Structure 1
């Protein structure tokens, strides 16, 4: 059962159809719940906690959707692309159904979430080249073939990691605010219960992942854990 406040539009006029269409805000709510409370955390969790353990030579083949050892990265990348496709679509439909920007707390949180999410997609282009001493195509005896933004941990790579990771945290914070404020203005008891249960489940899962130390260092996973690699050498005593 839902309880729709009087200030929320219950139908929208579609000029192309020549008639008004009933709005189903519960569809919007369930879609955004799936995107921001299930799909996005899942893609982040897989990227952070499901990398393979570091090895002497790391992952030798370059990133590819078709290489099994990079499955965690592929899920993170393409899963979040799909999540943003759904979120933007849901946001556009909500904007049209509301007759424009409503100015509510939920509208602000939702808009900030979408903007930050799109910014994350854009910031992924800052990633730079990979490089690596043992990657396929490099000569272990010729350092000129090892060069890459990730391998050498260049300023570009450091900027990418600082922006992409930090903004990702804030995007998730805004998303939780959007879901919470949406549920406050549009009563959906079942979804509220699902939301609270899902957040508790993620909390327990992340605590267990951290307890079992599954957050492997991405650089060591990609290139190996030896001190011959520049960024490992820089962190020798860390």
Structure 2
């Protein structure tokens, strides 16, 4: 995980240095663009793909083996790392513009950042987990398994109805905002190529995972597709 985040920072440094050396933007704009591209063009889409398609990893003996939380660690790390870089990028550009959002790119970027922080907030407010492996639960006593996720309470339903669709909307809208930002820096060919590779890579990865039917229900990935579990008796997908 840390090696990926460090690599992302190195990538951002390289992009920022090249942008600053081009002389078409200020140093602050170069740093802002590099950090935002790394956050919303690389880390956030990767974190979304991890959560959507890697709840069961290749080679995992599912459903005999469940609750593989590799996807959760990657999703959380990539999203938190991405939001940290994006927030730093916002601070940098605010120092350049004195807090103004005069361009379409700026206003769209503000919406993207609001969605990003709402994602963080909704994740923190998602409620308890529950289930037989939750700390404090007795695996032999179902009465101790209570939790928002395990019982699919209204709080958990509200979280899932917001968090997942809003997350993908934020990533897609961020992609559009990045393209708007390219117009402001004169769209150097090398930067167009980098953005194109990142966005095409994300789309191809999603299409490939979908074609391979890698999606597995969140609830089932944790506790297995067993109708004895309260969440597995529901008909909606999570």
TM bucket normalised to smaller: 0.7 to 0.9
How far, CA to CA, are the matches of 1:57 and 1:145 in structure 2?
22
For the residue of structure 2 that corresponds to 1:26, the secondary structure is helix
How far, CA to CA, are the matches of 2:138 and 2:156 in structure 1?
23
**1:18 corresponding residue in structure 2:** none
Relative to 1, partners in 2 of residues 1:39 and 1:184: Cα closer, same or farther, differing over 3 Å? same
- Give, in angstroms, the shift of residue 136 of structure 1: 6.5
Deviations 1:68-103 (CA, angstroms, capped at 9, x unpaired): x32210111122111111111111111111233141
Is structure 2 residue 63 aligned with structure 1 residue 55?
yes
Aligned length: 211
Please point out which of 39, 42, 50 is paired with 1:35. 39
Deviations 1:30-79 (CA, angstroms, capped at 9, x unpaired): 221111111111111112111126425732xxxxxxxxx32210111122
Structure 1 unaligned residues grouped into runs of 5+: 11-22, 60-68
**1:210 corresponding residue in structure 2:** 210
Alignment root-mean-square deviation, CA: 2.2
Superposed, 1:111-130 pairs within 5 Å as 111-130=110-129
Superposed, 1:100-115 pairs within 5 Å as 100-115=99-114
**1:220 corresponding residue in structure 2:** 220
**2:229 corresponding residue in structure 1:** 229
Relative to 1, partners in 2 of residues 1:183 and 1:109: Cα closer, same or farther, differing over 3 Å? same
**1:149 corresponding residue in structure 2:** 148
- Give, in angstroms, the shift of residue 140 of structure 1: 4.9
Higher helix share: 2
Contact 1:50 1:72 in 2 (8 A): yes
Q: Give the structure-2-normalised TM-score.
A: 0.80
Moved more, 130-139 or 201-210: 130-139
Contact 1:57 1:225 in 2 (8 A): no
- Give, in angstroms, the shift of residue 208 of structure 1: 1.0
Relative to 1, partners in 2 of residues 1:33 and 1:47: Cα closer, same or farther, differing over 3 Å? same
Relative to 1, partners in 2 of residues 1:57 and 1:199: Cα closer, same or farther, differing over 3 Å? closer
Larger radius of gyration: 1
Structure 2 unaligned residues grouped into runs of 5+: 1-18
Q: Which has the higher contact order (CA 8 A, sep 6+)?
A: 1
- Give, in angstroms, the shift of residue 105 of structure 1: 0.5
